[in-house]
Chain A
Amino acid sequence: MALKPVNAVIIGAGAGGGIVAKELAEAGLSVVLLERGKWYSPFDCRKDDLRNQRTSPLGQAFGPDDDRNPRVAVDSQGREHIVRASGPGYQNNAACVGGGTFSYGAMAWRYMEKDFRMRSTYGHVSGSTLADWPVSYQDLEPYYEKAEWEIGVSGDVSGDPFHAPRRRPLPMPPLPPNREYEILYPAAKRLGLHPFDIPMLRNSVPYNGRPACIRCRWCVGFACEVDAKCGTHNTVIPKALATKNCELRTECVVKEIIANERGRVTGVVYFDANDELHQQDADVVIVSCGAIESARLLLNSKSRLFPDGLGNRRDWVGRNLQGHTYTGAFGLMPMDIYDDLGPGAGIALCDYNHGNPGLVGGAMLANEFIRLPYQFVSMVPPGLPRWGKAHKDFMRNAYRRAIAVQGPTQEMPVFDSRVQVDPVVKDHWGIPVARLSGDKHPQTIETSTVMAGKAEAWLKEAGAVQTWKKLSGPGLSAGQHQAGTCRMGSDPATSVVNRFCQVHDVDNLFVIDASVHVTNGGFNPVLTIMAMAYYASRHLVKRWKGTRFA
């Protein structure tokens, strides 16, 4: 069925796509926003500790569904596994309106200045495609600010001497500290470190017409029952729809992007909720599906001029897949410290993001989100049996006494850690699925091990009577922080998009999500995705001349 052509079609209503939809619609472009998942409401929020987006032994709450969306994961021995969305190895991110922002933990980090200049700061790293971004922190600063104020961030970074220069403070104060915070703060001070309140995309006071956090124990992995968590689903997407210039179509799975004989894209072909095929023509196409699905869609969009997929003339689409290597430590306090106050995570330090002798980069360290008993089952010290009386005793004695501190180690991009399309396996709609292969860089594992030691030292200083590390082994890293597969760069030979997220050789095709991240910082990436979406949208709107770019 032929649909009325529009100015812009955006694929994916997550952190990036939601913002682009609002920016373009407010600038007067007609927009269709396609989302493969559903639009859930806070009322769809079941507090289910075995079935949510973070812990999913009985499936995940916000997509993609297990039955229709397989992937192929290739392990380090080269064996292929067909994996389902809620299972290990899938590297899942949510599929729904808001994407990951609907159920995330919502840490709202700005990357540091050096995070955009990793190559200049640390030089060549053997076996890694480590490079500088073609944009600087200063370029993005106004857009970070815009994201903080439009989407809504609480916190207080004034205690962090390492943060990059900023013009305005955060719009909301931090939530009051919980018990872990009260213990960890003075301990960090005693160590000469610089603890402060984590910036969070979460209302600490009423903001943007939504209430403050009620501090329940179902936070990361769950939808917020009072809508206090700020994502694109309850901020920019409703604003985009209010302009009347944007139409949101949910449960629409894009098959491919159509290119014409002049090397430009003309629209997309997608399946609707009834598996019927539609063609949506548009003057410009924006891909915002997350690092794995964005790469998959470009690779699946083959035509005479683009036989290897769009943007893939130099075989860079899908390369450098990265996420974050989380390591840290657990500490057992001598007393009961569980206070049942969500979100739990509240205190962080950035002392170890850079400047670690002999290492490249590092990680922000923070206390962990509040844990439900099932999540605590596997957090046992080494040497403790995984079952039996000893394990039960540990659960009983330790649950209310444990603190976890961990951090996302900045990963060294690896060229052969990648997304391809599988030659055999297809999804429910007959579209070749993503095939994931590769490994972490040894430097990443080394850095993450050092970070675990730093976390352990912090817990020891805080008075933990027993501490143990949570380390990371080899294996592909992507997951909810997936990034890097459509690298941004000035040189078309070694990147996929330019500094404005525009595909090098197709000027009306954009990739606006974490795919463009050259490196992924030692931080949760969402605020950078949002800032980049504002930044790229501004450029797109500025160069927009009715039906084309000038």
Chain B
Amino acid sequence: MPVVACGRRGSSWRFFTAEEARTLEAVCAQIIPEDQDPGAVRAGVVRFMDTQLTRFYKPLQKTYRRGIAQLDQASIDFAGKRFADLPAAQQLAVLHHIESNPELRPFFELLVAHTMQGFYGDPRHGGNRERVSWKMVGLPYPPLRGRLRYDFADLAKGELPWR
């Protein structure tokens, strides 16, 4: 079994090489960019992918290894540099190019799906660090239970005391 590490840099990943993780962080940062709220990188989406690739997504290890290499190669062919080394605007152009390429598109779509899972899903799976996406959309936390037994909300008056 791979060693479980706590760090976010270097070779502390379960599955990814440091280079692969660098590429993925750059891709994820475009899929869910940082703005007034944290984006995919700060939410730990790559950590989510890395963790799940040793668990439920284990059958996808080869897909990832090959896919990341192809993505970087496409970036070099299209823009002359590896994906993580491009400025943001060019990164977007590369991703739109990849989206229009039937051969490269499936892996990118997989990355989009996994990024959404890692960003909006439960933090227990390794992503959504500190519930950043739940805070962003306004999902109340901690969840209230048994509210039905205490009639303290007058919905007719628009009162939402749990806000």
Interface residues of A (CB under 8 A from B): 47-50, 57-59, 175-177, 179, 182, 212-217, 336, 338-341, 372-374, 376-377, 386-389, 391-392, 395-396, 399-400
Contact = CB atoms under 8 A, between A and B. Distances in A.
A473 to B, nearest CB: 18
Interface in B132-159: 133-134, 136-140, 143-149, 153, 155-156
B14 interface: no
A392 B32 contact: yes
Interface string B28-41: 00111101010100
Contact of B147 (A215, A395, A399): A215
Contacts of A217: 143
Given A215-B148, A388-B31, A399-B137, 13 more contacts: A49-B121, A49-B122, A57-B113, A57-B117, A177-B155, A212-B148, A214-B147, A340-B140, A340-B144, A377-B120, A387-B30, A387-B116, A392-B35
20 contacts: A47-B122, A57-B113, A57-B121, A58-B55, A58-B117, A59-B56, A182-B156, A214-B147, A214-B149, A340-B143, A373-B133, A373-B137, A374-B121, A387-B31, A388-B30, A392-B39, A395-B137, A396-B136, A399-B137, A399-B138
A179 B155 contact: yes
B105 to A, nearest CB: 12
A395 B37 CA distance: 12
B62 interface: no
Given A214-B147, A373-B133, A374-B121, A58 B116 contact: no
B112 A386 contact: yes
B124 interface: yes
Contacts of B113: 57
A429 B149 CA distance: 49
Given A58-B56, A373-B133, A182 B33 contact: no
Given A392-B32, A392-B33, A374 B116 contact: yes
A389 B117 contact: no
A387 B99 CA distance: 11
B138 A400 contact: yes
Contacts of A182: 155-156
A133 to B, nearest CB: 39
A48 to B, nearest CB: 6
Contact of A387 (B37, B115, B149): B115
Given A216-B143, A374-B117, A400 B137 contact: yes
Contacts of B55: 58
A50 B125 contact: yes
Contacts of A374: 116-117, 120-121
Contact of A396 (B56, B117, B137): B137
Nearest to A396: B136
B52 A395 contact: no
Nearest to A48: B122
A175 B140 contact: no
Contacts of A49: 121-122
A372 B138 CA distance: 11
Contacts of A392: 32-33, 35, 37, 39
B94 to A, nearest CB: 13
A530 to B, nearest CB: 26
Contacts of A388: 30-33, 92
B148 A58 contact: no
A307 B160 CA distance: 65
Given A213-B148, A389-B35, A48 B56 contact: no
B115 A214 contact: no
Closest 5 CB pairs of A and B: A399-B137, A374-B120, A373-B120, A50-B121, A387-B31
A337 to B, nearest CB: 10
A50 B143 CA distance: 18
A336 B138 CA distance: 10
Contact of A395 (B56, B136, B155): B136
Contacts of B143: 216-217, 340
Contacts of A214: 145-149
Nearest to B138: A400
Contacts of B133: 373, 395
B1 to A, nearest CB: 19
A169 B122 CA distance: 41
